[in-house]
Chains A and B, each alone.
Chain A
Amino acid sequence: MKDLIHARFKINYSSFALDFDLSLPGHGISALFGQSGSGKTTVLRCMAGLERAHDAYIEVNGEVWQDDARGIFLPTHKRSLGYIFQEASLFPHLSVRRNLEYGQKRTGGGSDNVAFGQAITLLGIDHLMERLPDKLSGGERQRVAIARALLTKPSLLLMDEPLAALDIKRKQEILPYLERLHDTLAIPILYVSHQPDEVVRLADQVVLLESGKVLACGPVTDVLARLDLSRTLLEEAASVIEATIGHHDTKYHLMRLDFRGGAILAAQRDLSLGQKVRLKMYARDVSITMSAPTDSSILNHLPAVVLEMADTSNPAIILVRLDLGGTPLLARITKRSRDMLGIVPGSQVFAQIKSVALLV
């Protein structure tokens, strides 16, 4: 697919510099991921024109929003975008309905009742229409804000940690809506987050940002399995694998999940054969044996080849990148184990996977 979003810009504040250069596909969710202070929010604000970057070139869907070389700068209200702020930014003096209409009226959408109905159904806010924002829960407010942005028919949706201000329960309440968004909308979404879980669950592409620079960019399965990037996320280091449901074992209540280069077993869930799922395996749940264990309670052990190893912030521990016949997998082992087992790049080993999280 052709890249449809091009963004290149710089920011130089006394305390912070940003040098951003990226092309993204014009569909799906691209996660802008990084520690706090890495410049994620600033990137979004520059894209939106809320912050004035310099040496900028920003093009979305063939429309140039900013080109400093030619002196072009579209102000925010002329950019076809939707912006979801960290904390919901509903207008407190307007009812939910009038909040939703605010942007729709101004995009010349007039009263497109069909789009209106779709948006409120998609986000499950039909019953809130006449309420004022201060009578809504945090999750409801964020859903209204998302619907309000969608109703402007944006070419690009910018979401700045939309879940950060919510507690776990509210997050769980809103995540399914975000997934529905992903499945039903053709609008590309740039999603800022510092939560690996959110990124793994939602994103197709990951842009890893560190100190204002793009460290890596690519499909979520590739980027998260890169050792150099996972080092900083020791506890959270994880691999993501795309798999399909291959078989249901009704006797043991297990199901087989097939992926490129292998298959694993997981507790049975109510999913139809052939359905696509994402598997997340924390590196801390993957260990290495030299031969296929026959006396282990762990179900999943797969033949693998050691690709590379990397030190971590913990001097006792290393991360190992394994290849399962074409699919990358991260394991976390001690240096002592590495030396005792004589693991080197190219070693033929078995990966034991203690637990798998299913992201449906």
Chain B
Amino acid sequence: MGFLSEDWGAIWLTLKLSVYVTVLLLLIGTPIAWWLARTRSRLKSWVGTVVALPLVLPPTVMGFYLLVVMGPNGPIGQLTQSLGLGLLPFTFSGLVIGSLFYSMPFVVQPLQNAFEAIGERPLEAAATLRASPLDVFFSVALPLARPGIITAAILGFAHTVGEFGIVLMIGGSIPDKTRVVSVQIYNHVEAFEYAHAHWLAGGMLVFSFAVLLALYMFNPKHRVCG
């Protein structure tokens, strides 16, 4: 008994998806979080709300809309088709895009909190020492936000590992392409293969526990938010 070869495929796919999504989210989420932390624009609450939506929306709702928008008659679907990329639903790329939206708040919010906690003073001090705004960001803001960045990366990664509903909606269950661990567990249970489901579910449990434990031990000041 142990993991089946399909199980290993699902595990591998899940890790690959989570790494892609985490890296992309850090790149996309950092400027958004920086803007949210610093702006006085009236758009702030609107953007903040959109970013936080996945916290309250059922994943199926998000998945449904993404499916429609990326489908053959949706605007993004038509765009990707005209660019010769084909359709995104039921592909790995589609899964990455769905996961980006879904895990966005878990990355943006810790980053935003970390940037806000820095306060104005170190940034102003850096400006009086001739650092340009971009220079200030890289030489002062990012290093001072490091605990928040670590929290954001771990939460983004762990949350992507654990998603289910949105994957099912826009990815389906294609082996080695869109069948991630959570979907595979569901499949085992549907087929009454409880022993296999146990292995994967137990693995997820141990993994999640270890990730959160590491987060709390290395970063006691930063709570898991969301």
Where the two chains meet, the residues of A that have a C-beta atom closer than 8 Å to any C-beta of B are 48, 50, 75-78, 81-83, 85, 87, 89-93, 102-103, 106-107, 148-149, 152
Please report the C-alpha to C-alpha distance between residue A107 and residue B130 in the assembled complex, in whole angstroms: 7
Is B139 part of the contact surface with A, judged by Cβ < 8 Å?
A: yes
Contact B144 A75 (CB under 8 A): no
Contacts of A149 in B (CB 8 A): 128-129
Contacts of A83 in B (CB 8 A): 124-125, 128
Number of interface residues, chain B, beta carbon within 8 A: 18
Distance in angstroms from B120 CB to nearest chain A CB is 9
Distance in angstroms from B192 CB to nearest chain A CB is 55
A91: contacting residue among B130, B140, B146, CB under 8 A: B140
Please report the C-alpha to C-alpha distance between residue A48 and residue B143 in the assembled complex, in whole angstroms: 25
Contacts of A107 in B (CB 8 A): 130
What are 22 A-B contacts with C-beta separation under 8 Å?
A50-B127, A50-B128, A76-B124, A76-B128, A77-B128, A77-B133, A82-B128, A87-B121, A89-B122, A89-B125, A91-B122, A91-B144, A92-B122, A92-B144, A93-B146, A102-B139, A103-B128, A103-B129, A106-B129, A106-B130, A106-B135, A149-B128
A77: contacting residue among B121, B131, B140, CB under 8 A: B131
Please report the C-alpha to C-alpha distance between residue A152 and residue B132 in the assembled complex, in whole angstroms: 14
Contacts of B53 in A (CB 8 A): none
With A50-B124, A91-B122 known to touch, is A148 a contact of B129 (CB < 8 Å)?
A: yes
Is B126 part of the contact surface with A, judged by Cβ < 8 Å?
A: yes
Distance in angstroms from B103 CB to nearest chain A CB is 28
Which residue of chain A has its CB nearest to the CB of B129?
A103
Please report the C-alpha to C-alpha distance between residue A103 and residue B128 in the assembled complex, in whole angstroms: 8
Ordered nearest first, which 4 A-B pairs have the shortest CB separation? A103-B129, A89-B125, A83-B128, A76-B127
Contact A77 B127 (CB under 8 A): yes
Contact A81 B125 (CB under 8 A): no
With A102-B139, A106-B135 known to touch, is A91 a contact of B128 (CB < 8 Å)?
A: no
Contacts of A50 in B (CB 8 A): 124, 127-128
Contacts of B133 in A (CB 8 A): 75, 77
Contacts of B125 in A (CB 8 A): 83, 85, 89-91
Contact B140 A103 (CB under 8 A): no
Please report the C-alpha to C-alpha distance between residue A78 and residue B129 in the assembled complex, in whole angstroms: 9
Contact A89 B130 (CB under 8 A): no
Contact B129 A75 (CB under 8 A): no
A102: contacting residue among B124, B129, B132, B146, CB under 8 A: B129
Which residues of B (113-156) have their CB < 8 Å from a CB of A?
121-122, 124-133, 135, 139-140, 143-144, 146
Contacts of B132 in A (CB 8 A): 77
Contact B144 A93 (CB under 8 A): yes
Please report the C-alpha to C-alpha distance between residue A103 and residue B135 in the assembled complex, in whole angstroms: 12
Contacts of B128 in A (CB 8 A): 48, 50, 76-77, 81-83, 103, 149
Distance in angstroms from A62 CB to nearest chain B CB is 19
Contact B126 A91 (CB under 8 A): yes
Contacts of B135 in A (CB 8 A): 77, 106
Distance in angstroms from A46 CB to nearest chain B CB is 13
Contacts of A92 in B (CB 8 A): 122, 144
Contact B122 A152 (CB under 8 A): no
Contact B126 A85 (CB under 8 A): no
A89: contacting residue among B124, B131, B139, B144, CB under 8 A: B124
Please report the C-alpha to C-alpha distance between residue A78 and residue B130 in the assembled complex, in whole angstroms: 6
